[in-house]
Structure 1
Amino acid sequence: MAQLMEDDVLQAFTTYAVIVILKMMLMAPLTSYHRFSGGAFANEEDVALKSAEDKKKFLRSHPDVERVRRCHQNDLENIIPFVVIGLLYALTGPDLSHALLHFRVFAGSRIFHSFAYLIPLPQPSRALSWMVGMAVTFSMAYSVLNTVLRL
């Protein structure tokens, strides 16, 4: 493993993969924050110590909680494919400058997407940032297939 990490492309991939994974992981504590600050819980056991009357009040959805949850879901749908395809891409030995462009643009688009979702910024800012990230992942996938199948 240590020898693999001497490869500049794999080092860059690892760096940006960790950045977007950590960003995705931060959505869970942010969801909890909004649940507690908004008094909106999803499960009966979360309000077990409350009175029957209070249980009804706290077992509900909240717009801020749902917004963070949707942002988190979108991260799961986009970051996991990036990590898998990005690793395969890094293993094909691409040019470092092209690889860095892919990794940086993806990470930037996902970070911007989260801000656009959570602030919220007007559309089409969020949609464009999603499309940019998706285009990067498809570009890497095409490069992997092109390398493997010698298209």
Structure 2
Amino acid sequence: MIDLREILDLEILLVFAKYTVLLTVKMMLMSLITAFYRMKKKAFANPEDAGSLGKGDAAKKFVRTDPDVERLRRCHLNDIENILPFILIGFFYSISGVSLATATLHYRIFFASRIFHTIAYLVPLPQPCRALAWFTGYLVTFSMVYKLLVHVLSIS
């Protein structure tokens, strides 16, 4: 097991931090892009959000769904559902004693799969492009889970 003092010196954590920051920024950008599209398409989820475009009944016509905004929202939701578990599992994976090369490969593949998933979602590319990108990222996360479970079960 790794001594807590050694964690600060682990190059794996620096690599993990880099990909975590990049993925988090990507996820945050999806929120900004969705907000931009809501304003551009004048398609708001709440009456108070449309309040700047009119009062009362005038604002209500802007409380609607738009296919482009909804597509962005679904892409962002998919990021949340996949990136957050990756970050949590990836942290423990980083301190589990895995080699730098193996960890870096996991992080890079997951990052690339999420970027490709977003492109496939927003362009949109024909299926199975998006499904394969999602599955690749999911497989990477489960690969890390498997390594953690094997490691935990072997020391129990």
Aligned length: 151
Matched, 1:146 2:147: no
Matches within 5 A, 1:100-119: 100-119=104-123
Amino acid aligned to 1:18 = V
Matches within 5 A, 1:1-150: 4-49=7-52, 50-150=54-154
Amino acid aligned to 1:72 = H
Deviation at 1:46, TM superposition (A): 1.2
Deviation at 1:68, TM superposition (A): 0.6
TM-score normalised per structure 1: 0.94
Amino acid aligned to 1:101 = L
Deviation at 1:150, TM superposition (A): 1.0
How big is the alpha-carbon RMSD for the aligned residues of Structure 1 and Structure 2? 1.7
Deviation at 1:121, TM superposition (A): 0.9
Percent identity for Structure 1 against Structure 2: 49
Amino acid aligned to 2:12 = V
Deviation at 1:3, TM superposition (A): 5.9
Query: Residue 112 of structure 1 contacts residue 129 of structure 1 at CA under 8 Å; is this kept in 2?
Result: yes
Deviation at 1:48, TM superposition (A): 2.5
Query: Residue 9 of structure 1 contacts residue 93 of structure 1 at CA under 8 Å; is this kept in 2?
Result: no
Superposition misfits of 4+ residues, deviation over 4 angstroms: none
Amino acid aligned to 2:42 = G
Gaps of 5+ in 2: none
TM-score normalised per structure 2: 0.91
Query: Residue 35 of structure 1 contacts residue 65 of structure 1 at CA under 8 Å; is this kept in 2?
Result: yes
Deviation at 1:6, TM superposition (A): 2.2
Gaps of 5+ in 1: none
After TM superposition, the structure 1 stretch with the greater mean CA deviation from structure 2, 47-56 or 124-133, is 47-56
What is the distance in 1 between the residues matched to 2:84 and 2:55? Answer: 41
Deviation at 1:4, TM superposition (A): 2.9
